[in-house]
Structure 1
Amino acid sequence: MPSYDSLSADQLQQITTLGSLKKSGYQPRSVKQELRDNLIKKLQSKEDVFPGIFGYEETVIPELQRAILAGHHINLLGLRGQAKTRIARLLIGLLDEWVPVVAGSELNDDPLQPLSVFAKNLLAEHGDNTPVTWMGRQDRYTEKLATPDVSVADLIGDADPIKAATLRLPYSDERVIHFGLIPRAHRGIFVINELPDLQARIQVSLFNILQEGDIQIRGFKVRLPLDLQFVFTANPEDYTNRGSIVTPLKDRIDAQIITHYPKSIEIGKRITKQEARIQDVQKGMVTTNEVIHDLVEQVAVEARASEFVDAKSGVSARLTISAYEQVVAGAERRALINGEATTYVRLGDFISAVPAVTGKVELVYEGEQEGAGIVAEKLMGKAIRTLFLNYFPDPDKAKKLKGRPSPYKTVQEWFGSGHTVDLLHDASTKDYRAVLDQVPGLRDIVTELHPSETPEHTYFLMEFLLHGLSEYSLISRNRLTAGAQFKDLLSSMFTMPSFGEDDDEDDEDEKPQRGRRR
């Protein structure tokens, strides 16, 4: 059989009839065989089969490849934000570039294996002169999100009274059928996202298609041996109250592949950098660093382990993507306000990305009592605390060193003498540096541990050091409307609430309704 992938559009246009198609040596091939053959070619040539998918190289991707080689229908099972739909869409790359279809057929009929009444009648009438067109691989992918209002008619089909009246046909005539999405996806890939959300009675309608390849429409004696590769995506049925996959349907899905979240921060960073929509003008204006990338990914790690977040719901990779986009946007906004052509990212930009976190986590009862904003700030604080040890000595251990003063002693004593520092999100670069420079010992700690850093990164680490010391309760950090205030821990107990607690003016009035907050 010739490969039509290598033919140009002009060469394909010369094959316009059934006769010319036969002369070319064309032989029908099932979708599953097509996927299998093209996968074999890619594996033999060491080509990346699923580009842009990171962290699944030793888990999901091998299982997926085995399922394709076995000719199986596939269910991708996992929590939200685990690239299930993205993987399904990448399967398009395993289809042939072009396939011939009977011109005008709504079921993408193969000229040598017609399926619909229309195609059979056309072939009977015109024979080798039957017109043939070519369909690209992108047109052979159909995707449907399962929603409660999806009906059997939407997926399979139903009798169309308007068609019957227009063509003056009785309802017993097969030509009055209006086919649904699945028959129209014949010779392609059909994806149903969030399968458990599909009503049980609708899931039952898929039994025959998966097992026998044919459809059932009301009282019609129609048998259509559909050629389809089904891919389903679903959350674990025990993790959702919205529905489940009925057991007989689950039994008919050959391969169930379990996806997972990135197993390391490095993998998470690759995904975030790839998916974040950072415009070129932002890249030219804002300089970031790996610490910020690590902090953004660590927030997701902390959220997945948090007592306030529903672990069964999961924490999508979209959290880190949105958070990083807001970090860059926050730095860009500051530069625009201050009339600066460029700016270096700050830890304050990370803190101000709370809105990207609040909508991406499903809270348990305790989390609802705390409030989404408070929980998001706590998660960010934990991320800072965790990564602080990668750059600075452990404050807890520094307290216990015998014969040596704590490296943070000078900073602590300065705050202990009544000094405060206000770091505002929108402060100009000059003001930002001036505020940090007034803290004695702060720069010394950073330059001693990280002597080769650029001036911009040094100031970033100085700010990071202040936030880290507050997380380890060596100093206090209070939330300001436009930034954060650092001061002595003891004095803060008698003034403002600490960072991460509600400081609204009407807090006392609201507490009875919202529950007491820590």
Structure 2
Amino acid sequence: MARLSPDAPPPDISTIGELKASGYTVRSVKSEMRANLMAKLQSGEDIFPGIIGYDRTVIPQIQNAILGKHDIILLGLRGQAKSRIIRMLPSLLDDYIPVLEGTPLNENPFAPITKQGRDLVDEHGDDAPIAWMPRSDRYGEKLATPDTTIADLIGDIDPIKAANRRLTYADEEVIHFGIIPRTNRGLFAINELPDLQPRIQVGLLNIMEEQDIQIRGFNVRFPMDVMMVFSANPEDYTSRGNLITPLKDRIDSQIITHYPRTIDVGIEITEKEAWQDRATESDGLAVDVRVPHYFREIIEQVAFEARESEYIDQKSGVSVRVTRAALEDLISAAERRALINQETETTVRIGDLMHIEPAITGKVELVYEGEQEGAQNVALTLIGRSVRTIFTQYFPDPSDKESGRPAYREVLSWFSKGNAIDLEQDLSFTDYAQRLDQVEGLKSLVDTHTSPGSPSETASMMEFVLEALHQNSLIGKEFDDGSQSYNDIMGSVLGNFGPPDDSDFDDEDDPFDRYR
């Protein structure tokens, strides 16, 4: 009997006799997944759609493990798509398989393993009924918790069943099977494996090696056909829990996941995960929020900075959920401002970045130094470092006194005269642009080095310049509730020197060293 096509209904076969006549042969789960993977690889089908950044690392290793009929553990820090990958593996199962109807363990009609199944075949022979089980019912999953028991996973004697059916404890029918045997002929996943108590992990040894289970009190082994997949965090391997050596030895392939390795890959993941198209749920109050590309780069850079920060516990990791939540908060800040000003469109501003702080503080674990700094200060530090890093991809580097800083001569001169600019969070676009236009040389600097697509993007880029100059300690910045002010970093002290003129930039000693 040929295998079913992806969208085909189950065959019109309802008895063991009809199944035999069709020529159907039963394959093990791992053989089935291997064969289906081979067919998908030959056809060029995308086996893990939506999984980004693993094309040359994790995905080939998973495919190799399946081709080798291996049980697998995915080892990686939080937010590395481990659970999502595991939940995609059932797509490699057949669309339907025949099971003996009325039995508890999805039994092979040709080789029943329980007393109920054997009795059914003995009584009805080739007329024994079968059902067709879809792949969606062949996946089981359990989050490992310290209170998980052997009865939960493997099974135990059910005294209530024995009493109700007047059975002795010697009768196999008093057994209550756990979640793993009920996933027989399927795929079973355990997330956060080290959280299982060691004595519970011992109960998995037979399944992994001998492919059977034994329920206490019965001298009977039930052969299992199940592929086991696990996930774990490296920190849990050594700190929160332990993975016993015999179990680790029985897991054929340990595959290490990782965070995005480039900004572009991170942006692609965040674009896919973040909720950005909000018009469908706005009840007619939709605001068109534009997010220039450099904001997406800044948000991804925040995650990269966090993964190297001395304030953050690197063993806990920095999830990609940080960037998803940060982008959503950024868009929400701009959306809120537009609604307050009755605007139908707006562009994200640098000042909106202060509103991504909640997306950072709730998702990182601080070390002692970070606790001393405070979560909010750490978040602002990460944002500032990211702005400084991304800025140099669009403008001359202000930290380079020879080739970079002279580009900002006119802007810095304006601030050195004692001028300041206040940018409240809820300013309308008109007021926002007017205040930025006061800074001499700022707009011409933006026009020289970039090509904004609209006046609002120009204004946002102008603020980008001011923030970068602040992050390079060339102008000052003060925060107040809902507003920020850029000013001369040295105030009246620099006023004593007078405003610089062009000749200052020709001298070996740069007068703007005073800003340091």
TM-score by length of 1: 0.91
Q: What are the equivalent positions in structure 2 for 1:308-323 lying under 5 Å apart?
A: 308-323=311-326
- Which deviates more, 245-254 or 97-106? 97-106
Asked if the contact 1:287–1:343 (Cα under 8 Å) also holds between the matched residues in 2, the reply is yes
Three-state SS of the structure 1 residue aligned to 2:189 is: strand
1:510 matched residue in structure 2: none
State the Cα distance separating 1:461 from its structure 2 match: 0.9
> d(CA) in 2 for partners of 1:239 and 1:379?
29
Three-state SS of the structure 1 residue aligned to 2:310 is: coil
1:287 and 2:285 equivalent? no
1:171 matched residue in structure 2: 169
Q: What are the equivalent positions in structure 2 for 1:488-499 lying under 5 Å apart?
A: 488-491=488-491
1:124 matched residue in structure 2: 122
State the Cα distance separating 1:115 from its structure 2 match: 2.1
2:57 matched residue in structure 1: 59
Of 375, 378, 386, the residue aligned with 2:378 is 375
State the Cα distance separating 1:270 from its structure 2 match: 0.9
1:133 matched residue in structure 2: 131
> d(CA) in 2 for partners of 1:6 and 1:129?
28
Of 402, 405, 421, the residue aligned with 1:400 is 402
Check 1:354–1:334 CA distance in 2 against 1; reply closer, same or farther (3 A cut). same
Deviations 1:371-392 (A, max 9, x none): 1111011000000011110011
The AA in structure 1 aligned to 2:378 is V
Give the alignment's Cα RMSD to 1 decimal. Answer: 1.9
2:426 matched residue in structure 1: 426
State the Cα distance separating 1:7 from its structure 2 match: 6.8
Asked if the contact 2:195–2:236 (Cα under 8 Å) also holds between the matched residues in 1, the reply is no
Asked if the contact 1:239–1:313 (Cα under 8 Å) also holds between the matched residues in 2, the reply is no
State the Cα distance separating 1:393 from its structure 2 match: 0.6
Q: What are the equivalent positions in structure 2 for 1:354-503 lying under 5 Å apart?
A: 354-397=357-400, 399-401=401-403, 406-451=406-451, 453-491=453-491
Three-state SS of the structure 1 residue aligned to 2:459 is: helix
Q: What are the equivalent positions in structure 2 for 1:59-458 lying under 5 Å apart?
A: 59-237=57-235, 240-281=238-279, 285-397=288-400, 399-401=401-403, 406-451=406-451, 453-458=453-458
> d(CA) in 2 for partners of 1:6 and 1:277?
31
> d(CA) in 2 for partners of 1:434 and 1:76?
54
Can you give the 5+ residue segments of structure 2 that lack an aligned partner in the other structure?
Answer: 495-516
> d(CA) in 1 for partners of 2:322 and 2:111?
48
State the Cα distance separating 1:23 from its structure 2 match: 2.3
> d(CA) in 2 for partners of 1:27 and 1:367?
61
State the Cα distance separating 1:450 from its structure 2 match: 1.4
> d(CA) in 1 for partners of 2:197 and 2:168?
32
Three-state SS of the structure 2 residue aligned to 1:135 is: strand
Asked if the contact 2:287–2:335 (Cα under 8 Å) also holds between the matched residues in 1, the reply is no
TM-score by length of 2: 0.91
State the Cα distance separating 1:492 from its structure 2 match: 9.7
Asked if the contact 2:235–2:316 (Cα under 8 Å) also holds between the matched residues in 1, the reply is no
Deviations 1:304-332 (A, max 9, x none): 00000011111111111111111111111
> d(CA) in 2 for partners of 1:150 and 1:2?
41
State the Cα distance separating 1:369 from its structure 2 match: 0.9
> d(CA) in 2 for partners of 1:327 and 1:386?
19
State the Cα distance separating 1:257 from its structure 2 match: 0.6
Three-state SS of the structure 2 residue aligned to 1:352 is: helix
Asked if the contact 1:308–1:364 (Cα under 8 Å) also holds between the matched residues in 2, the reply is yes
- Which deviates more, 419-428 or 62-71? 419-428
State the Cα distance separating 1:479 from its structure 2 match: 2.0
- Which deviates more, 465-474 or 445-454? 445-454
Deviations 1:373-424 (A, max 9, x none): 1101100000001111001111121x335xx981212211222222221222
State the Cα distance separating 1:213 from its structure 2 match: 0.8
Deviations 1:152-176 (A, max 9, x none): 1111111111111111101111111
State the Cα distance separating 1:13 from its structure 2 match: 5.6
State the Cα distance separating 1:302 from its structure 2 match: 0.1
The AA in structure 2 aligned to 1:400 is E
Three-state SS of the structure 1 residue aligned to 2:212 is: coil
1:506 matched residue in structure 2: none
Asked if the contact 2:194–2:236 (Cα under 8 Å) also holds between the matched residues in 1, the reply is no
2:505 matched residue in structure 1: none
> d(CA) in 2 for partners of 1:218 and 1:239?
29
Three-state SS of the structure 1 residue aligned to 2:13 is: coil
> d(CA) in 1 for partners of 2:27 and 2:383?
54
Check 1:332–1:240 CA distance in 2 against 1; reply closer, same or farther (3 A cut). farther
State the Cα distance separating 1:491 from its structure 2 match: 2.9
Asked if the contact 1:67–1:74 (Cα under 8 Å) also holds between the matched residues in 2, the reply is yes
State the Cα distance separating 1:351 from its structure 2 match: 2.2
State the Cα distance separating 1:237 from its structure 2 match: 4.9
Size of the alignment, in residue pairs?
A: 489
Asked if the contact 2:425–2:483 (Cα under 8 Å) also holds between the matched residues in 1, the reply is yes
> d(CA) in 2 for partners of 1:369 and 1:63?
42
Three-state SS of the structure 2 residue aligned to 1:490 is: coil
Three-state SS of the structure 2 residue aligned to 1:489 is: coil
State the Cα distance separating 1:8 from its structure 2 match: 3.0
> d(CA) in 1 for partners of 2:450 and 2:196?
56
Three-state SS of the structure 2 residue aligned to 1:26 is: coil
The AA in structure 2 aligned to 1:174 is E
1:501 matched residue in structure 2: none
Three-state SS of the structure 2 residue aligned to 1:478 is: strand
Deviations 1:473-515 (A, max 9, x none): 1101222211321111113999xxxxxxxxxxxxxxxxxxxxx
> d(CA) in 2 for partners of 1:211 and 1:474?
65
State the Cα distance separating 1:466 from its structure 2 match: 0.8
1:507 matched residue in structure 2: none
> d(CA) in 1 for partners of 2:187 and 2:492?
61
State the Cα distance separating 1:235 from its structure 2 match: 1.2
Asked if the contact 1:4–1:99 (Cα under 8 Å) also holds between the matched residues in 2, the reply is no
Three-state SS of the structure 2 residue aligned to 1:233 is: strand
State the Cα distance separating 1:131 from its structure 2 match: 1.9
- Which deviates more, 450-459 or 111-120? 450-459
1:516 matched residue in structure 2: none
Asked if the contact 1:349–1:425 (Cα under 8 Å) also holds between the matched residues in 2, the reply is yes
Check 1:492–1:294 CA distance in 2 against 1; reply closer, same or farther (3 A cut). farther
State the Cα distance separating 1:22 from its structure 2 match: 2.0
- Which deviates more, 292-301 or 278-287? 278-287
Deviations 1:237-256 (A, max 9, x none): 57652112111100000000
The AA in structure 1 aligned to 2:166 is R
> d(CA) in 2 for partners of 1:148 and 1:492?
63
The AA in structure 2 aligned to 1:33 is S
